A and B are shown apart, each in its own frame.
Chain A
Amino acid sequence: MTIELIILLMFGSLLLLLLLGVPIGFALGSVAVGAIYFQQGSNALITIAYSTFALMWQILFMTVPLFVFMGAVLQRSGIAGGLYEAAYRWAGSTKGGLALGTVIVGVFFAAMTGITGASTITMGIIAIPSMLSRGYDKKLAVGCVAGSGSLAILIPPSVPMVLLALFTRQSVGKMLMGGILPGLLIAFLFVCYIMINGFLRPKTCPAHPQGFTLKEKIVFSIGFILPLGLIGLVLGSMFFGVATPTEAAALGALGTVGCCILQKKFSWRLIREATLDTFMLTGVVMWIGFGAQCFSTTFTSIGGIDFISELMLGLQVNRWLVLTIITLILLVLGCFLDPTSIIMIAGPISFSILIPLGFDPIWWGVVFVILLECGYLTPPFGFNLFYLKSIVPPDITMGDIINSIWPWFFMLLLGVVILSIFPQVVLFIPNAMTR
Chain B
Amino acid sequence: MKRLRVFLTAVDAISEWSGKGCAYLVLVGMVILVWEVVSRYAFSHPTMWAHGISQRLFAVYYILAGAYVLRYNRHVSVDTLYNRFSLRTKAILSLVGSIFFFAFCGVLLWTGIDFAWTSLSQLEPDETPWRAPVYPVKIILALGAFLILMQGLAKFCRDLVSAVTGKEEI
Contacts and interface: CB of A to CB of B under 8 A. Distances in A.
Interface string B71-99: 01011111111100000001001101100
Max chain A CB contacts within 10 Å: which of B54, B107, B108, B138? B107
Contact of B93 (A18, A20, A27, A237): A20
Contacts of B34: 247, 250-251, 254
Contact of A22 (B32, B55, B77, B107): B77
Contacts of B163: none
Contact of B61 (A65, A247, A287): A65
Contacts of A291: 104
B11 interface: no
Interface stretch (A47-55, A121-129, A182-190, A397-405): A47-55
A287 B112 contact: no
Max chain A CB contacts within 10 Å: which of B22, B33, B55? B33
Size band of the interface chain B makes with A: 35 or more
Nearest to B64: A283
A340 B58 contact: no
Given A21-B81, A26-B105, A284-B69, A46 B114 contact: yes
Max chain B CB contacts within 10 Å: which of A27, A49, A288, A294? A49
A49 B112 contact: yes
Contacts of A49: 108, 111-112, 114-115, 141
Given A57-B137, A246-B33, A254-B31, A62 B108 contact: no
A337 interface: yes
B62 A283 contact: yes
A78 to B, nearest CB: 20
A50 B115 contact: yes
Interface of A: 17-27, 29-30, 32-34, 45-50, 52-53, 55-57, 59, 61-62, 65-66, 69, 237, 242-243, 246-247, 249-251, 253-254, 271, 275-276, 278-280, 282-284, 286-288, 290-291, 294, 336-338, 340-341, 380-381
Interface of B: 19-20, 22-24, 26-27, 29-34, 36-37, 41, 51, 54-55, 58-59, 61-63, 65-66, 68-69, 72, 74-82, 90, 93-94, 96-97, 100-101, 103-105, 107-108, 110-112, 114-115, 137-138, 141
